[in-house]
Amino acid sequence: MAVAVAAPHPAAVEAAREVVARGGNAFDAALAAAGALTVAYPHQCSAGGDLVAIVRPAGGVPRAVLSIGAAAAGVDIAALRAAGDRMPFDGPQTITVPGVVAGWAAIAGLGARLALSELLAPAIRLATAGVPVSPGLRRAIAGRIDAIRSDPGLSALLLRGDDRLVQPVLAETLTAIGTDWRSFYEGDLARRLAAGLGRLGSPIVAADLAAHRAEVVPPLTRALGEVVWHAAPPPVQGPTFLAVVGADDLLAASHRARQARDARLGDPRTGPIDLDGMLAPDPGRAVAVDGAADGRRGPGTGAVRSDSAQVGPKPAGDTVAVTAVDDDGIAVTLIQSVFGSFGSGLLDPGTGLVLHNRGSSFRLEPDHPGRIAPGSRPPHTLCPTMALTGGDVLALGCQGGRNQPWILAQVAGEALGSDDLPGLLTRPRWFFDGTAVVTEPGVDALVDDAGHVQVSRLRAGRLASASDPRADGRAAVLPG
């Protein structure tokens, strides 16, 4: 079985190549690549972060996998409000329960052929033997050098003057996950992680880890002619992508959708979400959408604000996307993230995990849909998407923080039929920088903020893939 795969680092594609050669399908390829990225790209992802995916089993319908960690049951909201009107950008109070590991297990359970231990074997070897420091990682280290110097775990990993990342403790953690992934949440590994979180000052305890579950639900869908787009429901900003994809005036639609998202996105477990208001922020442009909407509609709350009004420092690095499609039509678009570059700015020495700062997206206003509450999940920027038309399938995802919906929308339509996917991803794009719209000046001046798009496709029985030149990645069609 051949598999098309795209990822932002060559080691991820090589990990996928190894498992495909052993009989793996697109599920196996995506998971092996995702595991390798937690070793090679610690500024953008970790098993100490979160995961969102859209997956399509063989002959089946797409499913959304949301493995998004919650705030601690013992979070001190009064203390956070007393400290300021926004959540801190990093530090121990921004750590939520890591969801990546449960997300890996959920995806594997939907159709992977190989055991999780086999899928993580390439990542474990990378962590043990070391992986070269990539240009993207060097830029990230320079960008957060003060935070790295202030954390013993990160400084020990990144400031040794070595050109290779060697992570023996992380290798042990990945080995334990491959043997029994549940130990991450309810076993010895969970106890060690909880102890490490406590030493770092996080309110997360063992019971919070044990309470985590990956959510597998129908995605939201929107039909544009013969093409059906799939995206994840809240607390993920999938509705924002569906609101803008195919828009005649994408920039204007994105302005409206961005405001609607900032006012309305939150965790439907915490309170009602105005899904209709996110899907159709322009009253004159109705959007017909099907999917996981039960319990996710409700009155809109809070004032509409721009990105610059509601967030602190802009996350950089933050995320990796992996896409994989095989010749049976099995497809995966998977995003895993630590949110800001190096997440919370904290690495737990006992497990080797960089811990994310997803909690920095919580709102402190008590009436906002994205408000922080015990056991609540933060508003999420991850926005994987998938398109189906006839027998063709497109898996699409990107790095890009809050800009992901419009980054993807700028390439989505042409990615379905383009004969030059690499060329499509090389074109200059625009994005919001928090205060203004910024357009890349040309192909010789591409920037990380315009996103690291990864695309894999099966069209008319032929596989193709492409990896964004803004990252360190690679794309390939791997023979089985």
Place of tokens 């599920």: 27
Question: How many Å from the N-terminal Cα to the C-terminal Cα in the chain?
Answer: 4
Tokens describing residue 202: 């996080």
Q: Is 70 within 8 Å of 211 (Cβ atoms)? A: yes
**What six digits make up the tokens of 47?**
């098993």
The amino acid at residue 225 is G
| Range 250-258, long-range pairs (CB < 8 A, 24+ positions) | 250/406, 250/409, 250/410, 251/406, 251/430, 251/437, 253/282, 253/285, 254/405, 254/406, 254/409, 254/432, 256/281, 256/282, 257/281, 257/405, 258/306, 258/307, 258/402, 258/432
Would you give the distance in Å from CA 68 to the centre of its chain? 10
Which DSSP symbol is given to 88? -
Q: How far is CA 116 from CA 30, 35, 140, 176, 480, in A?
A: 12, 10, 30, 11, 19
How far apart (Å, rounded) are the C-alpha atoms in residues 44 and 342?
6
Q: What are phi and psi of 252, to 5 degrees?
A: -65, -40
| Alpha-helix runs per DSSP H in 325-440 | 404-415, 421-426
* Chain centre distance of CA 201: 25
Helices (H) and strands (E) in the chain, counts: 18, 20
C-alpha span between 123 and 7 (Å, rounded) = 14
Q: Closest by alpha carbon to 424, among 414, 416, 433?
A: 414
User: Catalytic positions, please?
Assistant: 319
3 state DSSP class of 255: helix
DSSP H stretches of helix in 201-297: 206-210, 238-244, 250-264, 275-279
CB 246 within 8 A of CB 228: no
CA distance linking residue 357 with residue 316, whole number of Å: 12
Give exposure, 441-461, as e/b (b: 16+ Cβ within 10 Å): eeeeebebbbbbbbbbbbbee
